[in-house]
Structures are given as structure tokens and as C-alpha cells.
Amino acid sequence: MPKIYEGGFQAQGKKFAIVTSRFNDFITAKLVDGALDALVRCGCSDADIDIVKVPGAFEIPMAAKKVAEKRKHDAIICLGAVIRGATPHFEYVSGEATKGIAMVSLETGVPVIFGILTTDTIEQAIERAGTKAGNKGFSSAMDAVEMVNLTSALEDL
Ligand code: INI
């Protein structure tokens, strides 16, 4: 029988940081609400959650790196909303945020979750911020809890 390594959803005693952007705050605030709901439902205490706010999604990787380097959190949840406009700006911001978040996670070994909406329209972002297509903040926090538990499980590999 193969041995399977996977993470559960227990967050008691674990520490999380949420790094979120103010740009499109009417969406990102809903993502943060969703993430807090998920963490608390998994048993995390409010006191074990820190929220870091940055101006836009472009700044998320730098703040996430600072947080990861402190080694005080078991996982970092990055939440933002990049919505396409009439110029190529969207591509630059979403591309840098995506690359940067992956880099922070790989360089530090801390699970850093990509919870940044990249949508063509405001409506698509609203759908993913607690309406008909779920809440990306909630699912990102669940991903963070799973990765924290998987990281512990992999210590026995
Ligand atoms: N930042 C976002 O988080 N979402 C966007 O949709 C966005 N757009 O489209 O411009 C955006 N721009 C700001 C960017 O993230 C930086 O904060 C800014 O360029 C300063 O570095």
C-alpha cells in the first residue's frame, strides 16, 4: 500500500498572516472576511491572525517576503483583486504579483497562498468575492490550513 501524505484542516495553535491590497477594496475586504471565517472555523484563534495591508497587488510579494522572513507565521495568505482595464497595466500587475508570490514561497519554504483574483470584469470579481462563485478568500485560507498540515506531515517523509 502506498503511504499518502496530505494535509487536514486543523488550525488550532497555528499562526497565519493575511497580506492584502487596498486597490479594489470593495472586493478585497470581502476576501479578507472569507479568509477570517475559514481560519476561525478551522479552529484558529483571532489572536493568531495578523493582517498586513499594502496599496496594490504589485506590493503584495514584497510585504509577504518580509512576513515570511520573520518566521513567525505557519502560512501567509495573499489576497488581492486585479481587474482588467483598457490598457496593458493588468498584465504587468498580475504577472508580477503571481511570480513574486511563487518566488517568496519557494525561497522561504513558507506556504504562501495565491488568493489574487485576476478578472476581466468587475462582475467576475464580485462573483468570486462571496457571491455566486464562492469566496476566493475563504478557499485560499482553506488552502493555507491544508498546506500547514501537509508541511508538518512531510516532516515524517
Ligand atoms: N492594483 C491592484 O491590486 N489591482 C488592480 O486592478 C490594479 N490596476 O488595475 O491598476 C492595481 N494597480 C496598482 C498596483 O498594484 C500598484 O499598487 C501601483 O502600480 C504602485 O506600485
Instruction: Locate the ligand 1 atom nearest the alpha carbon of residue 58 and give its number.
Output: 15
Residue whose Cα lies nearest atom 16 of ligand 1: it is 56
In a domain, 13, yes or no: no
In a domain, 49, yes or no: yes
- Alpha-carbon span 45 to 127, nearest angstrom: 28
Full residue range of the structural domain in which residue 119 is found: 19-151
Total domains in the chain come to 1
Question: Tens of pLDDT along 103-133?
Answer: 999 999 999 999 999 999 999 999 999 999 9
CA of 137 to the centre of ligand 1 (A): 19
- Domain CATH for 29: 3.40.50.960
pLDDT of the residue at 151: 97
Q: Cβ distance 11 to 43 under 8 Å?
A: yes
pLDDT of the residue at 20: 98
* In the block, residue with C-alpha cell 489576497: 79
Give the 3-state secondary structure of residue 92. Answer: helix
Q: What is the pTM of this model?
A: 0.97
CA of 54 to the centre of ligand 1 (A): 10
In a domain, 157, yes or no: no
Task: For ligand 1, pick from 26, 54, 58, 124 the residue to mutate: most ligand atoms within 8 Å of CB.
Answer: 58
Q: Where are the alpha helices (DSSP H) in the chain?
A: 25-41, 60-70, 89-108, 122-127, 136-154
> Nearest 10 degrees: CA dihedral of 8, 10, 72, 108?
10
Report CA-CA distances (Å) from 19 to 2, 30, 121.
37, 14, 23
Question: Tens of pLDDT along 1-13?
Answer: 999 999 999 999 9
pLDDT of the residue at 156: 87
